[in-house]
A = this chain, B = another copy of it.
Amino acid sequence: MKKAVTLGEALLRLTPPGRNRLIGSNMFEVIYGGSEVNVAVALSQFGIDTSLITRLPDHDLGDAFIYKLREFGVDTSHIARGGERIGLYFLEAGYSVRPSKVIYDRKHSAMAEAKIEEFDLDAIFAGRDLFHVSGITLGISEQAFQLARTFMRRAKEKGLKVSFDFNYRSKLWSVEAAREKFEQILEYVDIAFAGHLDFTNILGIKPDKPLEERDILDYYRDLYSKVQKMYNFEWIVSSIRNVESASKNQYQGIIWNGEQLYQSKSYTIDIIDRVGTGDAFTAGFLYAYLTNKDDEYKVQFAAASAALKHTIPGDMLVATAAQVENLFQSGSFQVQR
């Protein structure tokens, strides 16, 4: 069985329960997450031995995060302890015509101030087959960017596959800032998770004709061919999301192996928790990739992971591979009794 390692910030989410507004809430749900954390948690439950690399303060809340990661079977033995705070964000969960809102409070976090000397890269990469990181880690601080780039370079040198999720967040940094950093690391990437707007707006790649004027699959084939010429990714992995309301979306996966495009089923989903669905998609693809499933299975498993995540409270996909398979293979929503 192949093994994975992810690098990223452990984030605490605070959310008013019952879709209440922040104003007037006297309780917050405490939800553990972070993009790469979510990927590690899902992979571990799918049966892939996955180590999370992060940095956490040496206090009870840092301990609590490690307890949570262990609960889901994530290998926490390489987590550095130090720094003063855990990154936080406040999420007000939207519904129907009211969009969800995020307030970030993640500056000066333990992870944003992590130093490369705190990690033993040889030990971390020993026996691992894949390294995953997302654009968020590149954006949280210059120090984190340097750290992530070093990890990517060393992973590549040691023969691991490198997986990268663009994960652009407009409240975190500008398109220009993201581009400048992304251009320094894309050479290491084997598997790229990105939406079409990431390619056009951040990397500045221009498809022959805009999406509105042509067949959607032709659009993607054209765009991805252009991307591949420039960056030579092994896989480009995307999703298409139609946001009918804050609590109802249509969702579909689309993947490109350099030659061919695969589409998943399209799901119409009533949403319990929108956060972490992209990470579940990523983990779903990586699981299928690491277990050498065929390409049709890859896109179906990835999309079903994401679809299922929309119905699970919290940032993390709490599910086994069998449950994900059941969604795209059986398609029945009857009570299982």
Q: Which of A2-10, A26-34, A209-217 touches B?
A: A26-34
Q: Is A204 part of the contact surface with B, judged by Cβ < 8 Å?
A: no
Q: How large is the interface on A (under 10, 10 to 19, 20 to 34, 35 or more residues)?
A: 35 or more
Contacts of A27 in B (CB 8 A): 17, 27-30
On chain B, the residues within 8 Å of A269 by CB distance are 96-97
Nearest B residue (CB) for A274: B335
A246 surroundings in chain B (CB, below 8 A): 333, 335
Question: Hey, what's the 0/1 contact readout for A110-134 against B, CB within 8 Å counting as 1?
Answer: 0000000000000000000000000
Cβ contact within 8 Å between B310 and A19: no
- State how many copies of this chain the complex holds: 6
Q: Chain B contacts of A107 at CB under 8 A?
A: 84-85, 108
Which residue in chain B gives the minimum CB-CB distance to A169?
A: B337
Expressed in whole angstroms, the Cα–Cα distance for A267 and B246 within the complex equals: 13
A332: Cβ under 8 A from any B Cβ = yes
On whether the beta carbons of A102 and B313 are closer than 8 Å, the reply is no
Say yes or no: B60 contacts A267, CB within 8 Å: no
Is A159's CB within 8 Å of the partner chain B? no
20 A-B pairs, CB-CB below 8 angstroms? Answer: A14-B14, A19-B311, A19-B313, A23-B67, A24-B64, A27-B27, A63-B320, A67-B71, A71-B71, A95-B311, A96-B270, A96-B271, A96-B310, A98-B312, A100-B335, A100-B336, A101-B336, A171-B336, A243-B334, A246-B335
Binding site for B on A (CB under 8 A): 14, 17-31, 59-61, 63-64, 67-68, 70-73, 84-86, 88, 90, 92, 94-105, 107-108, 169-171, 243-248, 267-272, 274-275, 307-308, 310-313, 318, 320, 327, 332-337
